[in-house]
Chains A and B, each alone.
Chain A
Amino acid sequence: MLIRRPADLPPSEITPERIWRQRRHWVQAAAAAGLLAGTGARAQSPTAARLPGRPSPLSTMEKPTPYKLVTEYVNFYEFGTEKDDPPRLAPRTLRLRPWTLVVDGEVRKPRRFDLEDLLKLAAMEERIYRLRCVEAWSAVVPWTGYPLAELIKAVEPTGNARYVEFTTLADPQQMPNLRSSVLKWPYTEGLRMDEAQHPLTLLTFGLYGEVLPHQNGAPVRLVVPWKYGFKSAKSLVRIRFVEKQPVNSWQQSAPNEYGFFSNVNPTVDHPRWSQATERRLGEDGLLARRRPTLMFNGYGEQVASLYAGMDLRKFY
């Protein structure tokens, strides 16, 4: 369609160059997304609501893993231990509205957030992050969300808040595998305050420019890209600020295999497999070589200082 500029346009309505350039960036980003859709890489759900975010300089330039794989190969043990259990079951049983996130503990302004309020708390960004699972596979995911630091600011932690504990929904009506004793429910995770406040730590509501699919931890989850995927707790109902280091579910289940920090670290093996290399979903076909795993999943420049002087072999 050809759009002609009317001859009588007042100068005040001509877009300033700065804004125009910004818009141009948006159009380019949209075009890039469209191009990917053409190749099938962005075959998003036809029904999901859009949830765009402004592009972030913290995004990786790596090629995102196809939407289909990101949403079909999922660990979410509340729905089953096989990768295809969550995509099969979560959309049927997990109710996303109404959804409340309780934020309490060592804070001056504890709050119960309705999801709608939570969505409006800060500006949405798109963050394309590498995701490294402790099971030695990896992906690249375009998440939508805002830094967890924004939420932390809003509730004003007290001086006693040294750690943050995250709790996933545990409702047997909605999550069929809570019957099993695979883990102790509810699923809990934890971060140190400085980790939680780090600009990379994302409170996440969407992926691929759409609201999170049920199986990927809808409606709100954590994404901590320099740690193994299980640290990024899904379907959060509570964020609690505490003084003592929380015990996360996996640490409780197998303390010799999973620690509190769980930073991606190619030099510290899992007792049952090596963490030195990984397979990238969708790219590493039968004939591809495993790719080397990067320290802190490649985010060392941003996060290594958080662990200065710590023995990461001991604090795995």
Chain B
Amino acid sequence: MSAARPLAGVPAALPPAVFRRLWWALLVLALLPLARLGYLIASDDLGANPVEFVIRSLGTWTLVLLCATLTVTPLRLLTGWAWLLRLRRLLGLTTFAYATLHLLAFAGIDHRFDWAVLWTEVVKRPYITAGMAAFLLLLPLALTSTNAMVRRLGGRAWQRLHRLVYLVALLAILHYGWHKAGKNDWAEVSVYATVIGLLLGFRLWRWLAPERKGS
């Protein structure tokens, strides 16, 4: 396949100054939902159920950023834009940041760090179990995201470890869908499930057809 051929007009490598600007733009974009939340909190405009709003908003953006992170590799392979890979860490870490805030809002704001209640919730509610598992699996990925850790683990081991993100994606969509189960309202869940299905399906397809790999 045309893995190495860049699309017309955009080079496989970008001048450092252009790339840096792109990196910053993406960071600002990824932080916009957080800025919006901050603004809504400051202006006391979170609606009738502020706690629910904050938790759900953070959860939704975690899922969006997770999808964006998982889009990097397929997009790079389809376009040949090698520089895309260097944006992946930024997207992965912002995903982790939103996931952490989502968990903190649930544990801290909604349940005031009442550990007994939180433990019961994690154990008793399958959708919370799935969400918690997804977060715990994200943790080692975030901790090994530095260049030093990549070197220490060695590229191959690092890559194998970071395949955990596929499991995280499955757990995340399970967490979201399960939370809504019983309502028979799959409109939004099915959109995210389709996106994640396509992104993971792409990898499965490449894995099953090794001769088509670009390398």
Contacts and interface: CB of A to CB of B under 8 A. Distances in A.
Query: Is the interface on chain A under 10, 10 to 19, 20 to 34, or 35 or more residues?
Result: 20 to 34
A83 B48 contact: yes
Interface of B: 41, 44, 46-52, 54, 109-112, 117, 120-121, 124-125, 127, 178-179, 181-185, 187
**Interface-centre pick from A272, A279, A289 (highest chain B CB count, 10 A):** A272
Interface stretch (A6-14, A103-111, A177-185): A177-185
Nearest to A286: B50
Contacts of A81: 183, 185, 187
A19 interface: no
A286 B51 contact: yes
Interface of A: 69, 72-73, 81, 83, 137, 180-183, 253-254, 257, 269, 271-274, 279, 281-282, 284-287, 289-290
Contacts of B182: 253-254, 257, 271-272
Given A272-B127, A272-B178, 15 more contacts: A69-B47, A72-B47, A73-B48, A83-B49, A137-B52, A182-B183, A253-B182, A254-B182, A272-B125, A272-B181, A274-B117, A274-B121, A286-B51, A286-B54, A290-B111
A-B pairs, 8 with minimum CB distance: A73-B48, A69-B48, A254-B182, A281-B48, A81-B185, A182-B184, A257-B182, A286-B50
**Interface-centre pick from B41, B179, B182 (highest chain A CB count, 10 A):** B182
A181 B125 contact: no
Nearest to A289: B112
A137 B50 contact: no
A230 B50 CA distance: 22
B48 A72 contact: yes
Contacts of A83: 47-49
Nearest to B46: A286
A137 B184 contact: no
B48 A181 contact: no
Nearest to B105: A286
Contact of B51 (A182, A257, A271, A284): A284
Contacts of A285: 44, 50
22 contacts: A73-B47, A81-B183, A137-B48, A137-B49, A180-B185, A253-B182, A253-B184, A257-B182, A271-B182, A272-B127, A272-B178, A272-B182, A274-B117, A274-B121, A279-B49, A279-B52, A281-B48, A282-B48, A284-B50, A284-B51, A286-B50, A289-B112
A279 B53 CA distance: 12
A69 B124 CA distance: 32
Contacts of B179: 272
A270 to B, nearest CB: 9
A281 B110 contact: no
Contacts of A286: 41, 46, 50-51, 54, 109
B132 to A, nearest CB: 15
B127 to A, nearest CB: 6
Contacts of B52: 137, 279
Nearest to A285: B50
A290 B182 CA distance: 24
Given A272-B179, A272-B182, A290 B110 contact: yes
A222 B121 CA distance: 33
A286 B120 CA distance: 22
Contacts of B46: 286
**Interface-centre pick from B49, B121, B179 (highest chain A CB count, 10 A):** B49
Nearest to A183: B184
Contacts of B178: 272
A233 B109 CA distance: 32
A72 B179 CA distance: 23
